[in-house]
């Protein structure tokens, strides 16, 4: 890069930072980095620096950046029909609902715009089940969630998220929520009473540090829900859509929930959310009981169908399973080499958490300086969410960069 370009880039960066400082609400602690272009597993900033993107926009860009099939699907649909209301049918919404139902099981799909909206819809579904169960409104409204859960920032989502940093300033929240300890079946069973309508869980808690539900725990929860006529609702907004090497993360346990929330990777970067409701709950919503202006538009569905095409036709999930195991093995090796810095590694597929023994922020900054973008999560965790299309060579490159930062810490 010649000095002219560098000077111009630095000036552009300064202008962008100034505009953000003056006009954008400060609800994020943003890194001093302005991203302008992406291709595959990489992004570039406005100074021309290239980074391995192991954030995927927080598990959103499932196919990486600029996948040709995905780009062409959006380009083609944008020239045909972008939006119609849900007062009419559009063929792509029907096709997407059919393909998702074939993956989840018999039931129906409702589309929305985001994970928060999907989770809010699931909580409404639980209320409707409670009305049917009790025979009246307002009696059976209890929803049992997990400690350290994160279900979004709507009032329903915050009420299901027992974290002070999320709830502070917005209380009073919705009533009816209680919280058991993740992977402690008895703590959930003790909370069930005649007013309980549903159990609502993230199959893998992402924001709280990549904490998976153990398969035997999910099996036990399924049995409790069957015994007490509760809906088992799973939030797969971050861990679904192939991130663990199965289309849904719960598939690793062999159970089937009654409803699923999904978003993020479903659109590959274009906003779309959805819930699947199984046969027990598929008839609970009726005309007028829920709605959305932008949910399931032709353009959003074209993006999601392109994601499914690539996952289904290019062997992506098999590679996620194989390369994800390789990634975990390499990272666990770093844990043995640097036990004073790295406490442990956990996760599945391309959803991995590195449990540090210190604040992750300096590690994230050092990784960024070396060319790797990663995320923090609860409990001093560095979270890795590479695109599902990442190559093994790129995974190895990321591991080498992490090793370099750990070596610096050790020194």
User: Is 150 one of the annotated active-site residues of the chain?
Assistant: yes
Cis peptide before 172 (omega within 30 of 0): yes
Are 62 and 242 in contact by the 8 Å Cβ rule? The answer is yes
Q: 204: closest CA among 393, 10, 383?
A: 383
166: how many CB neighbours lie within 10 A of its CB?
20
Contact 103, 247 (CB under 8 A): yes
Closest CA relative to residue 100, chosen from 211, 224, 228, 265:
265
Q: Tell me which DSSP letter residue 193 carries.
A: -
Distance separating alpha carbons of residues 256 and 233, to the nearest angstrom:
10
Tell which residue, 108, 104, 83, 97, has the closest CA to residue 286. 108
CB of 356 closer than 8 Å to CB of 339: no
Distance CA 348, CA 111 (A): 27
Which of 250, 258, 264, 270 is the catalytic position? 264
Separation between Cα atoms, residue 289 and residue 307, nearest integer Å: 30
- The question of whether 235 is a catalytic residue gets the answer yes
CB 380 within 8 A of CB 359: yes
3-state secondary structure 58-78: HHCCCCCECCHHHHHHHHHHH
Residue 264 known to be catalytic: yes
Tokens of 344: 């442990």
**Identified catalytic residue from 111, 150, 177, 179:** 150
For tokens 């960066």, what's the residue? 13
Residue-wise burial string across 280-315, b where 16 or more C-beta atoms lie within 10 A, e elsewhere: bbbebbeeeebebebbbbbbbbbbbbbbbebbeeee
216 exposure class (CB count in 10 Å sphere: 0-12, 13-18, 19+): exposed
Which among 235, 258, 270, 285 is annotated as catalytic?
235
3-state secondary structure of 174: coil
**Residues labelled catalytic:** 150, 235, 264
């Amino acid at each position: 890069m010649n000095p002219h370009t560098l000077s111009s880039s630095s000036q552009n960066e300064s202008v962008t930072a100034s505009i953000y400082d003056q006009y954008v609400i400060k609800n994020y602690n943003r890194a001093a980095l302005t991203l302008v272009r992406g291709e595959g597993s990489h992004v570039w900033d406005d100074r021309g620096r290239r980074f391995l993107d192991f954030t995927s926009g927080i598990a959103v860009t499932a196919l990486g950046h600029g996948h040709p099939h995905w780009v062409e699907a959006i380009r083609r649909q944008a020239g045909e029909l972008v939006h119609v209301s849900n007062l009419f049918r559009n063929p792509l919404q029907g096709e997407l609902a059919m393909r998702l139902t074939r993956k989840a099981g018999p039931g129906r799909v409702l589309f929305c715009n985001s994970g928060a909206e999907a989770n809010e819809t699931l909580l409404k579904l639980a209320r409707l089940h409670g009305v049917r169960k009790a025979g009246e409104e307002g009696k059976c409204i209890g929803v049992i969630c997990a400690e350290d859960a994160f279900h979004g920032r709507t009032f329903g989502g915050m009420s299901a998220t027992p974290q002070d940093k999320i709830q502070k300033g917005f209380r009073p929240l919705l009533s009816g929520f209680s919280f058991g300890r993740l992977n402690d079946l008895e703590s959930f069973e003790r909370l069930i009473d005649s007013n309980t309508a549903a159990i609502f869980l993230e199959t893998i808690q992402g924001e709280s540090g990549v904490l998976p539900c153990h398969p035997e725990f999910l099996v036990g929860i399924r049995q409790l829900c069957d015994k007490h006529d509760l809906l088992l609702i799973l939030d797969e907004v971050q861990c679904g859509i192939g991130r663990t090497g199965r289309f849904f993360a719960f598939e690793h346990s062999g159970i089937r929930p009654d409803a699923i929330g999904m978003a993020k990777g479903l659109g590959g970067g274009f906003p779309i959310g959805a819930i699947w409701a199984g046969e027990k709950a598929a008839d609970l919503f009726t005309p007028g009981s829920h709605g959305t202006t932008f949910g399931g538009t032709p353009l959003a569905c074209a993006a999601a169908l392109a994601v499914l095409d690539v996952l289904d036709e290019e062997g992506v999930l098999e590679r996620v399973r194989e390369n994800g195991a390789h990634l975990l093995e390499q990272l666990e090796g770093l844990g043995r080499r640097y036990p004073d810095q790295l406490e442990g590694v956990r996760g599945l597929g391309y959803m991995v958490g590195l449990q540090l023994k210190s604040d992750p922020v300096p590690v994230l900054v050092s990784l960024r300086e070396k060319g790797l973008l990663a995320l923090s999560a609860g409990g001093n965790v560095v979270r890795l969410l590479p695109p599902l299309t990442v190559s093994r060579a790129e995974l190895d490159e990321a591991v080498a960069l992490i090793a370099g930062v750990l070596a610096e810490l050790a020194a």
